[in-house]
Amino acid sequence: MTLALVRRQAAIEIKHGKIADKWKVLRDASAAMGLLGIQSNSLAVLDALLSFYPDNELRQDAQLIVFPSNAQLALRAHAMAGATLRRHIAILVESGLIVRKDSANGKRFARKGDDGRIENAFGFDLSPLLARSEELAMLAQRVAAERASLRKAKESLTICRRDVRKLITAAMVEGADGDWQTTEDIYVALVSRIPRVPTLEGVTSVLDEMLMLREEVLNRLENLENNEKISTNAARIEQHIQNSKPESINEYEPRSEKEQGAKAGLSHQPKNKSQRAFPLELVLKACPMISDYAPRGVGNWRDLMSAAVVVRSMLGVSPSAYQDACEALGPENAAVAIACILERANFINSPGGYLRDLTRRSERGEFSLGPMLMALLKANGQGGLRAG
């Protein structure tokens, strides 16, 4: 018996006229057993105690104390051993579901008046079950909702796994261009992280990354398909433009550093239109260092692009290299690429050359920022994957 337990028992209050079905309360307690910290044997003992209460309804104005002997209680608790019985009674008391009301000699009994009614009883008080009936119902609903969410997440993960497996296999069998072995490694690493004992948090974490991987694979395959269509029609298009007057191409002159970060490319679409935008929150989790180069922190994409200009200069990336990246990737994704390079600056000998290589690969449809962000998420402890 602890001081906290004594205080909790003393604070039991039941609204006047309150009624609850005892078997409904037992079902709710059974559903919420994990949250209550009790076990199946504890529920068996509680079931047995409730069987000694004569009515089906727990009432505020009724005598809620039952006083069975250990032999009777053990018999109704499926012939439970005495030591086990006492242990689970203690668990029920500790969890606040019942209260002991001991007599002077420690025995359980009831005193009846002249009219035959029980005046005083010593044993186990069931009033906490009545007092907490609404709380137990809410806990049961919470468990049911979490169970339903977990079931849906597991089903979604199974479907997504199947889709990714089929896409990677098809790409490898048909000899599609790209580093599909790295994608395969990412997939295998993700599958290995699925918890043996599934929890909503664990399954959801893997599902989010599996969905991102599926989208990356679909984007890559779509890029390859588009490139094949362009190559097929290239000769036909060329003969139509040979005799036409070539139009002058205005070079993308580097703007001021501030304009280049905050404005450059905002009115221009990336050459590789399949490059998708990533949530800013995800980018900052994967690349937290970029925030150090924004005077007031990174609260929006404009802040990120302004910080990227500062980082570009610090890393020695030329304005033209950054401008090319803005045209190929789009200004937001170019800033994300700079943020990723900053995170891996210790492992990159030439940030400018590295950015130009990413730009060329993006123009050919062979590069996407998704695997790079996932690798950095994992490196920063955010549950991402190494994209190789």
- What is the predicted pLDDT for the residue at 263? 40
* Average pLDDT, rounded, for the chain: 80
- What is the predicted pLDDT for the residue at 146? 92
61: Cα within 13 Å, side-chain hemisphere: 2
Confidence of residue 279 (pLDDT cuts 50, 70, 90): confident
Model confidence at 292: pLDDT above 50: yes
Q: Residue range 332-357: average pLDDT? A: 90
CA 370 and chain centroid, separation: 18
Out of 10-14, 214-218, 379-383, the most confident range is 214-218
- What is the predicted pLDDT for the residue at 47? 94
- How confident is the model over 174-232, as pLDDT tens digits? 888 888 888 888 888 888 988 888 889 999 999 999 999 888 888 888 887 776 655 55
- What is the predicted pLDDT for the residue at 148? 94
Q: Residue range 308-318: average pLDDT? A: 88
Q: Residue 324 burial (CB < 10 Å; 0-12/13-18/19+)?
A: buried
CATH tag, 3-137: 1.10.10
- Name the token pair of 287: 């690349």
More confident residue, 235 or 117: 117
Q: Residue range 316-336: average pLDDT? A: 89
CA–CA distance, 102 with 173 (Å, rounded to integer) = 76
- How confident is the model over 45-95, as pLDDT tens digits? 999 999 999 999 999 888 888 888 888 999 999 889 999 999 999 999 999
- What is the predicted pLDDT for the residue at 58? 92
More confident residue, 251 or 271: 271
Sign, CA torsion 100/103/109/112: negative
Interior angle at CA 281, CA 277 and CA 282, nearest 5: 65
